[in-house]
Amino acid sequence: MITIAVVLIVLVALYLYNVRTFDYWEKRGVKHDKPVLIFGNNADNYLMRKSVSEKAVEMYWKYPNERIVGFFRSTRPELVIRDPEIVKHLLVSDFYHFYPRGLIANRKYMEPIMKNLFFADGDLWRLLRQRMTPAFTSGKLKAMFPLIVERAERLQERALAAAAGSRTIDARDLMARYTTDFIGACGFGIDAGSLNEEESAFRKLGASIFKIDNMRFMSSILKQFMPRLFCHLKPMGQIEKGIKELVGAILRERKYQPSSRHDFIDLLIESKNKGLMTGESIEHMKPDGTPEVASLEMNEDLMAAQVFIFFAAGFETSSSATSFTLHQLAYNPNVQKKVQEEIDRVLGQHNNKLSYDAVKEMTYLDWTFKEGMRMFPSLGFLMRECSRKYTIPDTDVTIDEGVRIVVPLQALHMDPQYFENPEEFQPERFSPEEFNSVQKSIYLPFGVGPRACIGERLGLMQSLAGLAAVLSKFTVSPAPESVRRPKVEPKSGVVQTIKGGLPLMFKERK
C-alpha cells in the first residue's frame, strides 16, 4: 500500500508540475490552443510530424484576427507575433528587453560548441559581436571575391559534366558544395575540394552538421524538457570533436600567429592576441543603475565555437536559398530569361568576367534572390526571449522574464495582406517603387536590429555570385522527379530544409 501511495504522489506531483503554466495565456486574455500534458501545443514537432517553422505558420493562420497568439512548447509559454508594428518594437525599438535568442534551454549547461555568436546570449554574445564585427567590412569582403570567382568556375565545371550527360543534378547538393568550398577557402585557408571530390571530407562535415537523426533529435528534445537532468547529453559531440581537431591543427600549423591569408581563422587569432574582450555588461547593473564591466577571453574552445557557426551558418543558409531560387527559376522560365539577359549584359561590360563590381550591378538578379528568400526563408522564424517584464505595445498583455516570442517569417512572407499573390514568383516586388515600408518591416531573412546576421553581406555576395555563375552558362528546368511545391523536412530546427533535395536539369547555354 505504501508503494502504491508513493507512486500516486509522484504521478500527482508530475501532473501538477506539468500543468503549472497552462493557465498563463488564459489569465492574460491571449487566444491559444488548449495545451495537453507533456507536449503543450507542440506535439506535431516533438513527434517529428512538423518542423518548428511549420508549427509557427500553423498558429499564425489559425488565429487570423489576432495580433498575438499564445503557444506552449511543452510547459513553456511562448507568444507568436502576427503584427508588423509589434515585430518592429520587439526586435528593434525595445531590443534590450529581448536581446537573448533563447535557443538554449539553460545557458548553464551549454555545450562548448554552442557558445558562438548565433546561439550565445547576454554578455557572451555582446562581447563576441563587438570583437568580430570588423571582419565583415566592405573592403574585406571585396578582398575575398577572387576566392569566390575560383569556386564559381569549379561550380560551372561540375554543372557542365552533369549537363553533358543529360543527368539530373540536385541543386541543393550542388550549391552546398559551392558554399562549402568557399567557406573552406575564406574561413580556413583550405581547399575543401567539395566540387571536385565526390567524397570530400569537408563536404561530409557540412552535411553531418544538419543531418538530424532520431538520436540527435531526441537528445535535443530531452534537453528542452529537463536541461538539468539531461545536461550530460551532447547531441553535437562528434561534430564538436571534428571542429576542434580541425581548428587545433590549423592553429598549430600557423604557430598561433596570423598568416597572410586574412581568413576567418586569422581574425580569431588576432582577436585572441588582442587580449581580454571588455565592454559594458548587458546583463548586470550596479546599484546606481549603470552597467558593470563584462570581460571574456578568446580561448581555443571559443575559437572553435565561432568557426563552427561561421561554417554552419554560411554553408546551410546560402545553399538552401540559392537552390530554392534555382528551383523557382526552373518553373518560371520568363523570369529566368530576364535574369540571364541582365547577367549577359553586365558581364559584357566587365570583359565577361565575374567580379565584385559586376555582381553589385546585377539588380534584377538581386531582386530574384530576395524573392526566393521571401518564399522560403532559410530561417523560417525568429525567436527572442524576454529578459525583463514587458508590456506588449498597444495591448494590456504583460509577459514575464523567460517567456519567448516567435516571429513566424515564413507565414508573414506568404501573407497576401502584405504580398499580393504570394505563391507567384515575382522579383519585381523588390523594386524600390514596389517594396513598401510594411513589407520591409516583415521581410527579415537575415533578421533585424542588433542581432541581425553579422554575415549578411558575405552571404549575399557568395549567393549572387554562385547564381550568376550558374545562370551565365546554364538554363535550369524541372527534372522528371522534380516536385513543384517541395515539402519541408519535419525534423528541421532553426534552419528549415527541403525534404529529398531539389532535382533539376541543367542545359548548357550556347
Question: 440, 143, 169: which is closest to 327 by C-alpha?
Answer: 169
Query: Which cell is 293 given?
Result: 564591466
Task: Report yes or no: 393 and 86 within 8 Å, Cβ to Cβ.
Answer: yes
Task: Report yes or no: 76 and 44 within 8 Å, Cβ to Cβ.
Answer: no
Question: 397, 400, 381, 380: which is closest to 389 by C-alpha?
Answer: 400
Question: 334, 354, 336, 337: which is closest to 346 by C-alpha?
Answer: 354
Question: 49, 18, 16, 51: which is closest to 35 by C-alpha?
Answer: 18
Give me the half-sphere count of Cα atoms (radius 13 Å) on the Cβ side of residue 142.
7
Query: Which cell is 73 given?
Result: 512548447
Binding site feature residues = 453
Cα radius of gyration (the chain): 24
CA distance 384 to 80: 11
CA dihedral sign of residues 314, 316, 320, 322: positive
Name 257's Cβ contacts closer than 8 Å, sequence gap at least 6.
269, 273
Give me the half-sphere count of Cα atoms (radius 13 Å) on the Cβ side of residue 265.
27
CA distance 88 to 483: 36
CA distance 497 to 503: 14
Binding site feature residues for heme = 453
- Pinpoint the alpha helices (H) of 20-133: 24-27, 43-46, 52-62, 84-88, 122-132
